[in-house]
Amino acid sequence: MSSGFPEVTGARFFEFLQAKGIAAECPACHQRRMSHAVHDPDGTLGENAPAVRVQQVLAGNTSLGYGQFPQVCLNCGYIRYFRDFEVFDFFANKSDDDGEG
């Protein structure tokens, strides 16, 4: 990514969720059907495709805002979001710990 943030694929986002102990159970319907979206228009990359990141900007000032990675329940449609900073920070610290940083 040109922004200086680590690339987050579907597989890496799943790694983050597992490392943080976040269950795949939907808080609304309690089914284990939470999924995360990836950008894979050709259907060839699977979990190696970039994770979808939603960016929220404050009205009138596009330099202020935040990003989020969504998860969607495949049963009831419930959506939950994870702030991108924590996801990026997890991988930045993981790279530092692994000596890759």
pLDDT, tens digit (0-9, with 9 covering 90-100), for 34-86: 988 888 888 888 888 989 998 888 877 777 888 999 999 999 999 999 999 99
Looking at residue 101, its pLDDT comes to 46
pTM for this entry: 0.79
pLDDT, tens digit (0-9, with 9 covering 90-100), for 5-37: 778 999 999 999 999 999 889 999 999 999 888
Cα–Cα distance for residue pair 88/96, rounded to 1 Å: 12
3-state secondary structure 17-74: HHHCCCCCCCCCCCCCCEEECECCCCCCCHHHCEECCEEEEECCEEEEEEEEEEEEEC
What are the angstrom distances between the C-alpha of 67 and each of 35, 39, 70, 73?
18, 16, 10, 20
Give phi and psi for 16, each to the nearest 5: -60, -50
